Structure 1
Amino acid sequence: MNIVNLAAYRFVALDDLPALRERVLERATALALKGTVLFAPEGINLFLAGPRAAVDAFMAWLHGDPRFAGMKAKESLSDDAPFGRLRVRLKKEIITMHRPAIRPEGGRAPAVDAPTLQRWLDQGHDDAGREVLMLDTRNDYEIDVGRFVQAVDYRLASFTGFPAAVAADRARFADKTVVSYCTGGIRCEKAALHMQDIGIERVHQLEGGILKYLELTDGAHWQGDCFVFDGRGAIDKQLLPSPPLPFGERIEVRGQSCAEVDAKPAMLPLPAGVRGHAGEKLLPERALGNSPASLGPSPQSSPRRGEEANAKSAALHWGGA
């Protein structure tokens, strides 16, 4: 596999966004990288793919800026770049939560590394003897692809729904050690701070997210694959692209199968018996049609819900990790 896929982020105050965007766009273009780089006043969030020499050269160049020095990336391999092009964008937040008081660049919640978390889960408690509760901060379609065993999740349509959901569920966390997790660490970093702010004690974030856990452990306590916001759709416990699914049939009914029915149609790799339609700007949860009149997946077919052909476009919309 010749392509290295990078996922990295850092919460750090940035005040030169337009100039920074131009420099990064120029450098990544010169190295023929593909993917998405998001900048906001609170930091950077990037997903890039290219040959080893190119991604190493880019990260070495980026580390030359003191604000990004030492920023570590999660890596995985694939035969082809899972992105169709390069985009460098400016946003209000690098991961949208709509909670401006949550500022990770000013300080983090405690983190637990992957080997320690596996040991806690193996023994059934943390080092102080408290029960460990895993809290998934991702969207529902991601969780359907894979999750930690017995993790709590709120069937979120988007991360902006997390604050209200966890606030209504505070009693669950009493006398427990809570570990929030997400794909690469960025969402659980904000989630852990929010939980602290509303009075939940003993909150940790999983350092490096699911990707780092699968990299540093044998994948124990994880079931299924890991949804990723690019053309691979999902990766397995070895961080390799998951096998594609059988093609579904195409339905072109606005408001049922796809709100983007007038966009360029594409066939979706869907679970057996599930039909859908995709456009170039389709968001992940629309692929199987979630309106009451649509044909959605059965519970048995849902674990591959997010693996649609246009996932590389979805990454640009969701910017999730």
Structure 2
Amino acid sequence: MNATVEQLAPVAAQATDNQWVVAALYQFREVSDPADLQQRLLDLVKTINLCGTLIVAGEGINGTVAGDQQAIDTIHQFLIDEGFTAMEYKESFSHDKPFRKMKIKLKKEIVTLGVEVKPRDLVGHYLNPEEWNELIAQDDVILIDTRNDYEYKAGTFKGAIDPKTETFREFPDYVRQQLADKKDKKVAMFCTGGIRCEKSTSLLLQEGFKEVYHLKGGILKYLEETPPEKSLWEGECFVFDGRTAVTHGVQEGIHEKCHACGWPVTPEEQALPSYEHGVSCIHCIDKTTEKQKQGFRMRQAQIVAAKRKRL
């Protein structure tokens, strides 16, 4: 299982009631035959109204899927019956179809850190949103956003450190280069849904850190449960689906994704001359050639044409 194996399953055109239920889920649990689980998931999703991505590995399952409530309930129950009875599981909603296809991927890790850790055996202290607020308000706590640079840009917790990583695989190097002299400090970490922190806290403990904490259920759970007036969150939370970002109450935010570079773009940034929908934004205008931009324009025209055809 050295290379990624990805398979697609057909998906229905739209969810019922014109609203998509979005379920984010993961669990670290030993899977004895990941390829077999992948195939049975493929067989299941062929029969229900679902889109999104699920990653299967020997260490568990991870992903975000969307569909009508019946489809979401069906796959949720399937995974419970498979023994995933302690999933971190959250539902939210999208007015538009948030994924183009349904993918079931077979990988070595359900979230790629690139360093062997044991999140089932060695993990930091879980904190609920109220406990989290109390901890990160303390002056002696190092608060680290374990997500990528473009996610940090959309929003983060007040006072959080940006490791400036482009992928999660870069996080171990950040820890060893920037935190090596802070092993006796309190370290609090967070990510979108909690899965990256399962591995990052395990990594820090493995590296000899003494007090490591993380936000249970991640930012999504925090935004779901924390009233805006009590929140220490600033901005929006980037999500890996068509909504781009969500805010308190896990409601869709104002950011749009630049389809050329993937960075979240605010309405103000969309008004800049550098922004061309599907082609460029302030973050990538100088990083692509004119030939590449022409290719993006052709792709965008095809997307618009396809949407008109469906209407």
TM-score (norm 2): 0.77
Match 2:110 to one of 77, 88, 94: 94
Tell me, yes or no, if structure 1 residue 224 matches structure 2 residue 235: yes
Q: Deviations over 1:45-84 (max 9, x none)?
A: 0110011222122211210112x02323112111122011
* Structure 1 partner of 2:120: 105
Q: Distance in 2 between matches of 1:14 and 1:286?
A: 42
More helix by share: 2
User: Match of 1:52?
Assistant: 69
Q: Which of 168, 174, 188 is the equivalent residue of 1:165? A: 174
Counting aligned pairs with the same residue, the percent is 35
Bigger fraction of residues in strand: 2
**Letter of the aligned partner of 1:76 in structure 2?**
S
Equivalent residue in structure 2 for 1:212, among 221, 228, 231: 221
Distance 1:201 1:291 in 2: 44
The alpha-carbon deviation at position 41 of structure 1 amounts to 1.3
Cα root mean square deviation, aligned: 3.0
Alignment of 1:1-321 (within 5 A): 2-66=19-83, 68-100=84-116, 102-121=117-136, 124-125=137-138, 131-170=140-179, 173=182, 175-219=184-228, 220-243=231-254, 245=256, 271-273=270-272, 274-275=274-275, 278=278, 288-289=283-284
Structure 2 residue matching 1:191: 3-state secondary structure = helix
SS at match of 2:163: coil
Instruction: Give yes or no for contact 2:135–2:141 (8 Å, CA) kept in 1.
Output: yes
Structure 2 contact 112–169 (Cα < 8 Å) conserved: yes
Contact 1:13-1:41 within 8 A present in 2 as well:
yes
**Cα displacement (A) at 1:146:** 0.4
**Corresponding residue of 1:302:** none
Q: How much has 1:224 moved relative to structure 2?
A: 0.3
In 2: Cα distance, 1:17 partner to 1:133 partner: 37
Paired positions, count: 267
- Counterpart residue type for residue 65 of structure 2: L
How far does residue 287 in structure 1 lie from its aligned partner after superposition? 9.2
Alpha carbons 2:245, 2:255 under 8 Å: kept: no
Ranges of 4+ aligned residues in structure 1 off by more than 4 Å: 276-279, 290-295
Structure 1 residues 200, 86: closer, same or farther in 2, change over 3 A?
same
Letter in 1 for 2:80: H
How far 1:28 moved relative to its partner?
2.3
CA separation in 1, counterparts of 2:158 and 2:250? 18
CA distance in 2, matches of 1:60, 1:138: 29
Matched residue SS, 1:178: strand
TM-score by length of 1: 0.74
The CA distance in 1 between the partners of 2:242 and 2:101, in whole Å, is 11
Q: Is this contact kept in 1: 2:129–2:215, CA < 8 A?
A: yes
Please give the alpha-carbon distance, in whole angstroms, between the structure 2 residues aligned to 1:2 and 1:110.
36
- In 2 relative to 1, CA 53–292 (structure 1 residues): closer, same or farther, beyond 3 Å? closer
Any idea what SS the aligned residue of 1:45 has?
strand
**Residues 183, 211 of structure 1: 8 Å contact kept:** yes
Q: 1:22 to 1:293 in 2, by over 3 A?
A: closer
Q: Given the superposition, is the C-alpha separation of residues 166 and 114 from structure 1 closer, same or farther in structure 2, using an over 3 Å criterion?
A: same
Q: CA deviation at 1:286?
A: 9.9
Contact 1:29-1:86 at 8 Å conserved across structures: no
Gaps of 5+ in 1: 251-256, 259-267, 280-284, 296-308, 310-321
CA contact (8 A) 1:276 1:287 kept: no
